[in-house]
Amino acid sequence: MKVLAALSGGVDSSVAAARLLAQGHEVVGVTMKLWGGESDSGCCSVSDVDDARRVAQQLGIAHHVWNFGDEFEQRVVEPYVDAHRRGVTPNPCIECNRHLKFDRLLRRAEAVGVDAVATGHHARVVERPDGTRRLARGADAAKDQSYVLYVLGQAELARTLLPVGDMTKDQVRAEAEAMGLRTADKPDSQDVCFITSTRGRQGFLGRRIELRPGRIVDETGRDVGSVDAVELVTVGQRRGLGLPGGGAPRYVVDVDVPATTVRVGPESDLMEDRVVLEQVVWAAGPVAGRVDAQCSAHGAPRPAVVEPGGGSGAVVRFDEPHRRVAVGQSVVLYQGDEVAGGGIVAPRRSPR
């Protein structure tokens, strides 16, 4: 099989490519050039491209750099900025997987005659008795990335290989070291690739939109503080608000960007027993009934019942009240270790 190995310059994708070679596949390495600006904490720096190229040389495979910068700006960066402008909390890594790594890259690979695309994600693709495929959790629970890959449907899963999904991170590093790969000890990439550790979100967004100061009010409407930029505040936030100490902890329970107002309250004001999802992606058709709902990349799954709605919507009802998930974040639905589907938290229609 001819396989395109997406080489990010990290140890996981390096070992993924090496394993494919060992299995007898014809492997071609490709690094996606997505972000052309400053980057010091993600996977798009010049050094990462160089590491990917040198790993390809070590493995004896061809290496190409494909520039998808325009699509990345349009599909990931601009929506990220617009979400903050509207007071929504985006997840750019999921959108990158949705639009770039498992859409644009797959289509480009197909156009050049490649049978499948492989990445170094810690997740697995499993085939069910009925012939359908499901994404499943990786063997290393601490590194599992199935949450950020829930957007893969049957068409994508049929052409995706995840060679390190059945390995722990320690096993990946040990295998890389045994092969002498230059990435064996390289630290994992962290955070969003276009947000630098020096400038942060505020520095990045401040150059693209106007960040406005806002007032903080309590549940009675009384002013209790202020924030430098209301666009940077998210529901559930506790730290960084500058509120006086003493008393019960207070959390952000509402962000009204047009009114430049942040409302805080006790944790009980955040608890809800349901969440409405939009833009739902089902692995193999809508699922109704018992699921485990995961509300963040490394959050604990919560027992729940899902009810598919009209179109691409769904309602998730938790067995026990759960802290509200910010609008724009994703909730992923599991049946056992397998992803049944997932979607984005929709705006609240009215106070509950």
Q: What is the 3-state secondary structure (H, E, C) of 171-212?
A: HHHHHHHHHCCCCCCCCCCCCCCCCCCCCHHHHHHHCCCCCC
Q: What is the pLDDT of residues 280-309, one digit of tens each?
A: 999 999 999 999 999 999 999 999 999 998
Q: Residues 239-258, buried b or exposed e (16+ Cβ, 10 A)?
A: eebebeeeeeebbbbbbebe
Q: What is the pLDDT of residue 351?
A: 42
Q: Is residue 253 part of a domain?
A: yes
* CATH number, residue 71: 3.40.50.620
pLDDT bucket at 44, cuts 50 / 70 / 90:
low
Lookup: tokens for 246: 């003493």
Dihedral sign of CA atoms 72, 74, 78, 83 in order = negative
Q: What is the pLDDT of residue 244?
A: 79
Q: What is the pLDDT of residues 228-247, one digit of tens each?
A: 999 999 999 998 898 877 77
pLDDT bucket at 91, cuts 50 / 70 / 90:
very high
* CATH number, residue 255: 2.30.30.280
pLDDT above 70 for 25: yes
Is residue 44 among the annotated active site residues? no
pTM of the model: 0.92
Q: What is the pLDDT of residues 326-341, one digit of tens each?
A: 999 999 999 999 999 9
Q: What is the pLDDT of residues 159-183, one digit of tens each?
A: 999 999 999 999 999 999 999 999 9
- CA separation for the pair 223, 216 (Å, rounded): 6
Tell me which residue range forms the domain holding 258: 210-265
The answer to whether residues 154 and 83 belong to one domain is: yes
Whether the CB-CB separation of 268 and 250 falls below 8 Å is answered with no
Residue 136: strand, helix, or coil: strand
DSSP string, 294-329: E-STTPPPEEEEEEE-STT-EEEEEEEEEEPPPTT-
Which residue is catalytic, options 44, 93, 193, 295?
Answer: 193
**Percent of the chain clearing pLDDT 90 (strictly above):** 83
Q: Is residue 240 part of a domain?
A: yes
The answer to whether residues 18 and 46 belong to one domain is: yes
The answer to whether residues 249 and 282 belong to one domain is: no
The answer to whether residues 318 and 249 belong to one domain is: no
Looking at per-residue pLDDT, the higher value among 192 and 235 belongs to 235
Q: What is the pLDDT of residue 349?
A: 66
Which residue is catalytic, options 43, 44, 93, 96?
Answer: 96
Instruction: Among 201-210, 245-254, 337-346, name the one with the lowest average pLDDT.
Output: 245-254
Q: Is residue 197 part of a domain?
A: no
